[in-house]
Chains A and B, each alone.
Chain A
């Protein structure tokens, strides 16, 4: 809980992030391909062949252009018509070129739909591939379930991934599978220092004198106590003054899935992961009638 709170505090320091969450009223024309999965997939290939020489893949920052889907970053152009306009006419005073004449309006709208999807989370523009095959990779060859849980199945050492696609961007999921420091450097790209940190699942080894060390993931700590989920899947509660704590620098999460899986297996796994989501729940408070009331 405190780790979550810490992140909430951090998010507040990104002074522009709030503005980003407020959707600007879109007075321009509607994107004819909004929420059209086939068109978004087409937008992805157009983006990958047209835009990634400057911008990074999957919304990360590239060699010359800023990231288009970076957590915590605010955007000058947020609406469909603003993004369309930037692609069609370029952006004066920057190296961003106009695509008018090179791409059709339909193609630009498709790229727009894809970029908009990237600014949501993975589930808004899920990665293409064989989802069922990806699920099999998750449980079998990938052995992801030895740490993670999805919809009640699996283990409790790492984060529950049941809602992963609603919480993370695609590039963040790919980084988690391929980069050792993904939790620190976020979605990756040529300008990693632009990125906000993600929640960490720090690994600790705690020794009570006279007993073998307990290794596991730190769920919480303060100046006086530690709460550790052990690799034995048991919760261990420690008094800091009575133990020796070693903080390990390396995450338990393997980062070589792009090497130990074939390209198809990897793509299918990402297709599965980017679709993991639970139905949205209503926000706000609710009063439940039926019990004895005070007045």
Chain B
């Protein structure tokens, strides 16, 4: 009933007389992710560098204890949403495949809803905002741009080569809409964000023009390497940074002897051409599904006394990496969970996998588990404290193969051994040394968990797997506030500001929750 009314209002607005339009223009200067304003949250990771750090500081470590729920919006027909809400000019956009709901970010009232049939569910992780446009990934291999003001379709193109896009939020960099997918193997594509015109593709599958990488597959046809998480972007270096997934067959490595490039890599691509500038492989010859799809976070700072342009990544394989992002030079890797045994050691910056931990019919215990020492839930970097926060999963797993034949399928389990069961922690590292500063145990959380967000107010927002939305002191990890949202959280929080008031929002299963300080003045 409410929605029908809203749709009628939307139509009226779309056909509004010129006078009203100019009012709208005064109110809405188009936000631009290249010139980020802390009041908006325009991309999956907040900003191109993917630091996920809000510069808003109305909510502080001193007053967050008074934070209260301001509104809840239910996404009808949905569950287990993984989307990061996008906020531009006081309007929040919540996405799913085929769908975007636009909400008044102060009240949660729906402004318009776009639903292309059919209603879809799945791990769709957000939309992106650029030049008054929003982008929709469809379940039938189309890519759409909507007018952010009323949800009208501005263009609708078929995905190049007839491929299905994965659920990662698009990255809009230098006027290019960058999307990715998994099938038939990993790929990244770029389109003109204004017109939908296809521009370029890149795939981690090496071609004949890259004989070294091709030779790293032991004669097998390279396969797999899905790309299902968004990336980061450095406008100065003109490079985008993405992680790539595991090689195929996933658990059986005997048919693909060698490093299997460019699986489990952090890659830097030229944003104009999609050409590979460099690749660093976190896990050569992976047999445990250690995708490198954890967000590559771009940070400038001092490393061992020298200024560096770095890319930081807490990887699923249990190591925290610092690379030089100008050229991919390996600077350091620090083990961040207690038990890591998939490798025998290091050859310089290259890990040497231990074949004794390959999956087997009998079952092989390996640390970390395939669930990962961390996974896609976003990390955050606090530029004031130089701390890197992420969700660490302690524990080990068992990898099983159905048969001893190559291409054997399998599953993985939590290790039943004492001391190897899964447990999630919110973990703070000194970003430039990799040393652990503090730990917060998320009691009962044991698998993946949601992502994090740090803020200039000194508060780290750390949702927990089974619905607690928790605020920690960024410096110490001490609990400052918490709220039970009542359902599973697998999304990352955001912060934004409307009319001078800071909000923090997170999606819990099918509900968007927004929090703020009590009205009547934040003290």
Binding site for B on A (CB under 8 A): 2, 5-6, 9-10, 13-17, 66, 72-74, 76, 184-186, 191-197, 220-224, 240
Contacts and interface: CB of A to CB of B under 8 A. Distances in A.
* A-B residue pairs, 7 tightest by C-beta: A14-B411, A223-B443, A16-B411, A15-B411, A2-B466, A184-B416, A193-B363
A37 to B, nearest CB: 32
A186 B363 CA distance: 15
Interface in B394-415: 398, 400, 402-403, 409-415
Contacts of A15: 409-412
27 contacts: A2-B466, A5-B488, A6-B444, A9-B465, A9-B488, A10-B413, A14-B412, A15-B412, A16-B402, A16-B410, A73-B400, A74-B409, A74-B411, A76-B402, A186-B416, A193-B415, A194-B363, A222-B444, A222-B464, A222-B466, A222-B468, A223-B442, A223-B443, A223-B468, A223-B482, A224-B468, A224-B479
A240 B441 CA distance: 13
B176 interface: no
B20 interface: no
A72 B411 contact: yes
Nearest to A186: B416
B133 interface: no
Contacts of B403: 76
Q: Which of B402, B413, B464 has the most CB of A within 10 A?
A: B413
Interface string B208-245: 00000000000000000000000000000000000000
B53 interface: no
B442 A6 contact: no
A74 B403 CA distance: 11
Contacts of A72: 411, 413
A16 B482 contact: no
Contact of B413 (A9, A13, A66, A74): A13
B402 to A, nearest CB: 7
A74 B479 CA distance: 43
Nearest to A183: B416
Contacts of B442: 223
A13 B446 contact: no
B447 interface: yes
Contact of A194 (B400, B414, B466): B400
B464 A9 contact: no
A73 B444 CA distance: 25
Given A66-B361, A222-B444, A223-B482, A197 B466 contact: no
A185 B442 CA distance: 25
Contacts of A220: 444
Given A14-B413, A197-B414, 20 more contacts: A2-B466, A5-B488, A9-B465, A15-B412, A16-B409, A16-B411, A72-B413, A73-B400, A74-B402, A186-B416, A194-B363, A194-B400, A195-B416, A222-B444, A222-B464, A222-B468, A223-B468, A223-B470, A223-B479, A224-B479
Q: Which of B402, B446, B466 has the most CB of A within 10 A?
A: B466
Interface string B50-76: 000000000000000000000000000
A240 B484 CA distance: 15
B197 interface: no
Contact of B441 (A186, A195, A223): A223
Contacts of B488: 5, 9
B137 to A, nearest CB: 23
Contacts of B370: 13
B174 interface: no
Interface string B340-360: 000000000000000000000
A171 to B, nearest CB: 16
B464 A223 contact: yes
B447 A9 contact: yes
B371 interface: yes
B490 to A, nearest CB: 10
A72 B370 CA distance: 16
Contacts of A13: 370-371, 411-414, 447
Contacts of A191: 362-363
Nearest to B441: A223
Contacts of A221: 443-444
B375 to A, nearest CB: 11
A15 B397 CA distance: 14
A183 B282 CA distance: 36
B47 interface: no
A223 B400 CA distance: 33
B502 interface: no
Contacts of B365: 193
Contacts of A240: 443
Contacts of A5: 466, 488
A6 B421 CA distance: 13
Interface in B464-483: 464-466, 468, 470, 479, 482
Nearest to B484: A222
B367 to A, nearest CB: 14
A13 B414 CA distance: 9
Interface in B371-389: 371
Nearest to B440: A223
Contact of B414 (A10, A16, A17): A10
Nearest to B369: A13
A9 B490 CA distance: 12
Given A5-B488, A193-B363, A10 B447 contact: yes
B291 to A, nearest CB: 14
A135 to B, nearest CB: 32
Nearest to A193: B363
Nearest to B470: A223
A185 B363 CA distance: 14
B438 to A, nearest CB: 15
Interface string B415-450: 111000000000000000000000001111011000
Contacts of A9: 447, 465, 488
Nearest to B466: A2
A257 B371 CA distance: 37
A220 B484 CA distance: 14
A66 B410 CA distance: 14
Contacts of B465: 9
Contacts of B363: 191, 193-194
Contacts of B470: 223
Nearest to B488: A5
Nearest to B405: A93
B468 A194 contact: no
A185 B416 contact: yes
Contacts of A74: 402, 409, 411
Contacts of B361: 66
A16 B402 CA distance: 10
Q: Which of A10, A17, A220 has the most CB of B within 10 A?
A: A10
A222 B466 CA distance: 8
A197 B447 CA distance: 15
A2 B444 contact: yes
B66 to A, nearest CB: 17
B309 to A, nearest CB: 37
